[in-house]
A and B are shown apart, each in its own frame.
Chain A
Amino acid sequence: MLNVYLFQVLNGLGLGMIYFLISVGLTLIFGLLNFVNFAHGAFFLLGSYLCYTLVTLTGNFWLALVAGPLVIAMLAWALERSLIQRIYHLPHTFQILVTLGIALIIQELSIMIWGPVGKSVPTPELLQGVVRFGNFAYPIYRLFLIAFSAGVAILLWLLLERTRFGALVRAGSESTEMVSLLGSNIFRLFSITFALGVGLAGLAGVLSAPLRGAHPFIGPEVLGLAFVVVVIGGMGSFSGALVAGLLVGVVQSLMTTLWPQGASLMIYAAMAVVILLRPYGLFGRA
């Protein structure tokens, strides 16, 4: 019986890391650019489909893991330069309208290209099978997912906390005007951050594809969860996204054993409690 819980906790950590990757991008973009990106879930979806196509064409998951997020980041870069950059100054409602439109375009294009029925993606050969600890067995791919995402999280933390670029992103979340006055090209910083944040959503999509496949209507669900994580963790907070992502993942995973019907309910109830007790989230600042 204990093994069941251990199994679910590990599942929850994997799921939580996926949530972290999605929401840290959302929170970075919101923190620096004060921009609400409702297309974030759609880029996750695109990541899953790119993974499907690349694995189908080349049989190489590792290629998909590198190229998928890169392609999506480049797409985000182009989108930022051509469209997003022009609507930063508009109220959030307009930003939601535009990015929701982008999300729908991506979703419908995906249906045109890949069809309305989801695709499954095989687990890469190297990561098939299970690891055994005594009488406890756990899929290798899920362990890889946790370890790989943790590696990405560490690299991202180093980037944000230990480099000049990271310091500029954090500074910009306080005052973009002052960053400009120090001679840094704030517009380029915006483009890079947007591409980075969206690329992370794409990476999450690629990583989750061997587990859950690619589905054309997953976008809104992913976006909703990412917002829950960001609200619980605190807007603009890296640690908040990590802790809240893992929390939501583990709770959701345990609930599927304890009370499956209540899994989503618990998540939103947790969000409500956090909003009541700490309106700026666990790690947020006013």
Chain B
Amino acid sequence: MLKLENIHSYYGKSHVLEGVSLQVEAGELVTLLGRNGAGKTTTLKSIVGLVDTPRGEITFNGHDIRGMQSFRIARQGIALVPEHRGIFGILSVEENLRIATRKQSRWQLDDIYHWFPRLEERRRNSGNALSGGEQQMLAIARALLNDPKILLLDEPTEGLAPVIVDEIIRILTAIREEGLPVLLVEQNLRVCEAVADRHYILEQGQVVYQGRADAFKADPAIRDRYLALSA
């Protein structure tokens, strides 16, 4: 469904992705792991057209989307929830949601309020009055209203308290059960192991490992080699 083939991405002159290939199939939840600076966020940004990707192929349902403008990529159904969450602080919670609604989306405002009752309680509050966890939920909820065919999440549990992390795991599981594919960048291995079908590990802008969740879990050596904080 989403396929990256040997992509190279640059921030100005610095070569950040050096030939990344990966794919996400229908209904799959795939994680992208790796240490800080490995190129995880850059991979997500390359997919949605925020980073210059002069070489390689990015296709979505067979359509070439590399080099397209971000808003056109978003309209194809690729919804990125960025690391900083991108909540509009001067808009109310409901306005944040309403600007993302699309009539053809499987999820409408009522469904979202049913899934996230907390957001309905706070619908008149401004975006910057929300806690970190509420902002993350709002960001995910907003992406769901935007008629997504795939969700790209960048470290959704970063900086959140353990109870909120459990809540995010519950949400991710529910999204997976709905059949919406997800590409998840996450540092928290507990979250990854709880929800993922497959994992990729990036190192210095290249994919150095890929495997199914059970294989990854059974082999602690991989974790130690690629993800442990190195000396």
Minimum distance in angstroms from B133 CB to a CB of chain A: 19
Minimum distance in angstroms from B210 CB to a CB of chain A: 27
A181 within 8 A of B: yes
A167 within 8 A of B: yes
Contact of B74 among A174, A175, A181 (CB under 8 A): A181
Indicate whether A174 sits within 8 Å of B88 (C-beta atoms), given known contacts A181-B74, A181-B82: yes
Indicate whether A180 sits within 8 Å of B89 (C-beta atoms), given known contacts A164-B98, A164-B99, A171-B99: no
State which residues 123-179 of A face B: CB under 8 Å: 164, 167-168, 170-171, 173-175, 177-179
Minimum distance in angstroms from A80 CB to a CB of chain B: 17
Question: What is the bound-complex CA distance between A177 and B96, given in angstroms?
Answer: 14
Q: Is the CB of A171 within 8 A of B48?
A: no
Q: Is the CB of A171 within 8 A of B98?
A: no
Q: Is the CB of A183 within 8 A of B88?
A: no
Question: What is the bound-complex CA distance between A285 and B88, given in angstroms?
Answer: 14
Contacts of B69 in A (CB 8 A): 180, 187
B198 within 8 A of A: no
Minimum distance in angstroms from A106 CB to a CB of chain B: 32
Chain A 246-286, CB-CB to B under 8 Å as 1, else 0, gives 00000000000000000000000000000000000000010
A56 within 8 A of B: no
Question: What is the bound-complex CA distance between A164 and B99, given in angstroms?
Answer: 6
Minimum distance in angstroms from B107 CB to a CB of chain A: 14
Contact of A178 among B88, B90, B102 (CB under 8 A): B88
Q: Is the CB of A177 within 8 A of B50?
A: yes
Chain B 187-215, CB-CB to A under 8 Å as 1, else 0, gives 00000000000000000000000000000
Q: Is the CB of A171 within 8 A of B146?
A: no
Q: Is the CB of A170 within 8 A of B91?
A: yes
Q: Is the CB of A174 within 8 A of B99?
A: no
Q: Is the CB of B90 within 8 A of A174?
A: yes
Question: What is the bound-complex CA distance between A179 and B90, given in angstroms?
Answer: 14
Nearest B residue (CB) for A188: B71
Contacts of B146 in A (CB 8 A): 182-183
A186 within 8 A of B: yes
Question: What is the bound-complex CA distance between A170 and B87, given in angstroms?
Answer: 12
* B contact residues, total (Cβ < 8 Å): 24
Indicate whether A175 sits within 8 Å of B88 (C-beta atoms), given known contacts A168-B99, A184-B99: yes
Indicate whether A182 sits within 8 Å of B90 (C-beta atoms), given known contacts A177-B50, A177-B70: no
A60 within 8 A of B: no
Contacts of B75 in A (CB 8 A): 183
B37 within 8 A of A: no
Question: What is the bound-complex CA distance between A171 and B82, given in angstroms?
Answer: 16
Nearest B residue (CB) for A174: B88
State which residues 139-176 of B face A: CB under 8 Å: 142, 146-147
Q: Is the CB of A171 within 8 A of B74?
A: no
Minimum distance in angstroms from B188 CB to a CB of chain A: 23
Q: Is the CB of B70 within 8 A of A180?
A: yes
Contacts of B95 in A (CB 8 A): 167, 171
B117 within 8 A of A: no
State which residues 48-68 of B face A: CB under 8 Å: 48, 50
Minimum distance in angstroms from A135 CB to a CB of chain B: 48
Nearest A residue (CB) for B142: A182
Chain A interface (Cβ < 8 Å from any Cβ of B):
164, 167-168, 170-171, 173-175, 177-187, 285
Other than the given A175-B88, A177-B86, A182-B100, 18 more pairs (CB < 8 A) read: A164-B98, A170-B90, A171-B96, A174-B88, A177-B70, A180-B69, A180-B70, A180-B71, A181-B48, A181-B80, A181-B86, A182-B99, A183-B74, A183-B100, A183-B146, A184-B99, A187-B69, A285-B90
Could you pull out 23 A-B pairs where Cβ atoms are within 8 angstroms? A164-B98, A164-B99, A167-B95, A167-B99, A168-B99, A170-B90, A171-B95, A173-B90, A174-B90, A177-B50, A177-B70, A178-B86, A178-B88, A180-B69, A180-B71, A181-B48, A181-B79, A181-B80, A183-B75, A183-B100, A183-B146, A183-B147, A285-B90
